[in-house]
Amino acid sequence: QVQLVESGGGLVQPGRSLRLTCAASGSIFIITSMGWYRQAPGKQRELVAAVTSGGTTNYADSVKGRFTISRDAAKNTIYLQMNSLKPEDTAVYYCNAESKAGPYTPRENSWGQGTQVTVSS
């Protein structure tokens, strides 16, 4: 079982920045990918950004050029640097990880508890 702990959310004015952190712990042999999703009230959860174990990144079109995902593989931690924030970025941000507890175990999908990001003047 993998635990994901998120931090860094909060209230910020439009145009400002925030950095989210997600640390994974538990039964980890390998993390194949980690990423951030968000869910705004009344909307479906959507992918924001993800990074694979090989370092390949993927971003939602709405955040390209403003958000940057990075990882510290040694610490099983990812970061989401969010710049030029907009009110429409307001949502609960969830960390997600795909991992394996051993070389022959099935892939697991884990979620964090979520952290609120509110962009408002």
pLDDT, residue 32, reads: 95
Q: What is the DSSP string of 25-91?
A: EES-SEEEEEEEEEE-TTS--EEEEEEETT--EEE-GGGTTTEEEEEEGGGTEEEEEE-S--GGG-E
pLDDT, residue 5, reads: 95
Average pLDDT of the chain? Answer: 97
Structure confidence by residue, pLDDT tens digits, 55-91:
999 999 999 999 999 999 999 999 999 999 999 999 9
Q: Half-sphere exposure of 3 toward its Cβ, with a 13 Å CA cutoff?
A: 3
pLDDT, residue 109, reads: 97
Backbone angles phi, psi at 109, to 5 degrees: -120, 120
The answer to whether the beta carbons of residues 60 and 86 sit under 8 Å apart is: no
Could you tell me which of 25, 22, 21 has the C-alpha nearest to residue 3? Answer: 25
